[in-house]
Amino acid sequence: MKVGLIGLGNMGLPMAENMIKAGHELAIYNRTAAKAESLVKKGAKVVETPAQAAQEANLVFTILSNDKALEEVTMSQDGILAGLQKGGIHVSVSTISVDLSEKLTSAHAASGQHFVAATVLGRPDAAAAAALKVIVAGNKEAREHVWPLFEAIGQTIFTVGDEPYLSNVAKLGNNFLLVSMLEAVSEAVVMVEQYGMQAEQFLEVVNSLFASPVYKNYGNLIAKRDFDPAGFKLELGLKDVNLAIDAAKKVSAPLPLGELVKGHYEQGIENGWGHLDWSALLKTVEALKKDN
C-alpha cells in the first residue's frame, strides 16, 4: 500500500520503519529532512510539502506532537486538505484535543474526504517492536481500508466507534490514568524512602500485587531516577494533562486529580525538568518534601 507519512519524531520514525518492513511504500514529509535519510535508504521518498505527501497515495498518516502542528500541516495552503482528493483518507496518530479532532473531521468531510483517528498506547521501544496498542475510530470503510497499516505498527487494535474524536477521548483517558499512576508511585516511593526502605525493594512488593507492565516499567524508571533520555517528555505530559482536563470540562466531568498533577508538572517545568521523561514527576514530589 502507498502512504504519505508526516512526522518522524520518537514515535513516527519507528512506525515508518515498520510500515516499510511490512512492504508498504512511503512518501515522507518532515520539517527536518535529515531525519528521513535512514528511510530513504530503505526505499522511502521524501516530498517537499504535506500536500505532496497526501497526493502520493490519497492516504496520509500524521504523527505530530500537538494541536498546533497538526492543524498547520492539515489546513495550510500546502496542507493535507489541499493534497487529498475526494475519498482520500487522513489518519491522525497524534494525541490532540477533542475540539481539533471534531474540527478536522468536519473539514475533511466538507472536502469529500475521511478523517480517522488512530491514537496509540506505548513508548518508543514498543513502536520499534511494532507492539503498540492502536485505538481506532472513524468511518468504517475508511478505517478498514487502512487496517493493514495498523497491523504493521501495532500488536493490538481496538475499534471504539465511527466518530474519530472517540479515539482521542480514549487516549486522553488512558494518559490520565498513567499520570495518576506516576503521581501515586512517586508519592509512595518518597514516603517509603524516608523510612529507609530501598525503592527497588518496595516496588518488588508493588509489582507482586499489581502485576502490571506499566507499574513495573515506570516504577523501574522512578526507582533508578532514569529520566534522561526521555521516552516521553515531561512537558508533553503537561500537554496531555491539560487536554484531558479540557475534555472533561467539555462534558462537566471534573478531574481533581488531574488538576493536582497539572500543578506538579508545571512546577517541574519551572524547575527546568521539562526535557526529562514524564516519570520525572518524582522530582517535583521530592521537592515538595523538602519545602515542607
Instruction: Report, as residue numbers or ranges, the catalytic residues.
Output: 171
SS3 163: coil
- Distance between start and end Cα atoms, the chain: 58
> What counts of helices (H) and strands (E) characterise the chain?
14, 8
Does an H or E element contain 85, and which? none
Q: β-strands 154-161, 132-137: how paired? A: parallel
d(C-alpha 138, C-alpha 62), whole Å? 15
Closest CA to 90 of 121, 65, 63: 63
Task: Please answer whether residues 275 and 230 qualify as being in contact, where contact means their C-beta atoms are separated by less than 8 angstroms.
Answer: yes
d(C-alpha 242, C-alpha 254), whole Å? 12
Q: Length of the chain in residues, anyone?
A: 292
Q: Which residues contact 123 (CB under 8 A, 6 or more apart)?
A: 217, 231, 232
Q: Which three cell numbers stand for residue 285?
A: 514530589
Long-range pairs for 125-134: beta carbons < 8 A, 24 or more residues apart:
125/231, 127/10, 127/11, 127/14, 127/15, 127/18, 127/153, 128/14, 128/17, 128/18, 130/18, 130/21, 130/154, 130/155, 131/155, 132/15, 133/157, 133/158, 134/158
d(C-alpha 230, C-alpha 223), whole Å? 15
